[in-house]
Amino acid sequence: MQPASRAALAAARERLESRIGDASAEDRNCLGDDLGAIAAVLSEQPAIRRHLTDSAAPEQLRRELVETLFGGKVSRISVRTVGDVVASRWSRPLDLVDGVEELAWQALLALAERDNSLDDVEDELFRFGRILIAQPRLASLLGDESAPAARRVELLDTVLADRTSPVTRRLLEQAVRAPRRRALEEIVEELVERAAARRERSVAHVTAAGPLSEQQQQRLIDVLNRIYRRPVSLKVDLDPDLLGGLVIRVGDEVIDGSVAARLSQALQWMS
């Protein structure tokens, strides 16, 4: 996002936290699903999002358009939240879709935080992301926007069965209903990052040649906590091709301490 959109999203997230804090249990429960549905509509309707991000139009007119489009179809708190969003200036119309989707995720993760299931949600999302990577055919079927959304959600329900928390299921349903030409496994990784951020943690994706003991994982967490000066949530994948050592990714930073990487460097030096 460009600076204007980033500022608009930051302001919207702050206002949403305030609304969530003052909302009834019923409003909090429906907010994430409502915002996800609105994001899907905005994604499908370029004319609507252009009007809602037209900074030449008066703010009140943009708010009234939100009321006309969504009033009576979603909760009042959801209409007011989107009204706040369109009152800001967005760099481009598609950023508005991204922003409303982010708020939908935020609202659902706030539910998990309130019922103390946020740790479980983060772990469940991570495990589902690993399933998608291991089974690319499943990822393709779930992300196939040429197939009806209801059919894709039905497949998701079959895969999940009753093995995830309600918030995890709702987050994944939103991702499957409206992937917006993005790889589903990448969306799930973003959700893991958002869940960790909600816990004020960074996610360290660790690839190891073999399983790490609890003691090894704890030592690694302690080291990464000191390096990044904030709590780190560890997500471990296994890859025997590494031969030994670890590859650690935190955000865009990669620390490659694998034997395979060192062998590759040695071969390059010798060639």
Nearest to 113 by CA among 122, 103, 126: 122
Give the strand pairing for 232-238 and 246-250: unpaired
Instruction: Tell me the CA end-to-end span of the chain in Å, nearest whole number.
Output: 42
Tokens coding 48: 């609507």
Q: What ranges do the domains of the chain cover?
A: 1-114, 117-199, 202-270
Residue type, 16: L
Per-residue pLDDT for the chain (271 aa), expressed as one digit of tens each? 888 999 999 999 999 999 998 899 999 999 999 999 999 999 999 999 999 999 999 999 999 999 999 999 999 999 999 999 999 999 999 999 999 999 999 999 999 999 999 999 999 999 999 999 999 999 999 999 999 999 999 999 999 998 899 999 999 999 999 999 899 999 999 999 999 888 877 788 888 888 888 898 898 888 888 888 888 888 888 888 877 888 888 877 888 877 666 666 655 665 5
**pTM recorded for the entire structure:** 0.81
Q: Please, are residues 172 and 132 in contact by the beta-carbon 8 Å criterion?
A: no
Q: Please, are residues 180 and 96 in contact by the beta-carbon 8 Å criterion?
A: no
Tokens coding 198: 């909600």
Distances (CA, A) of 155 to 69, 121, 149, 173, 189: 31, 20, 10, 10, 20
Q: Is 163 exposed, middle or buried (0-12, 13-18, 19+ CB in 10 A)?
A: exposed
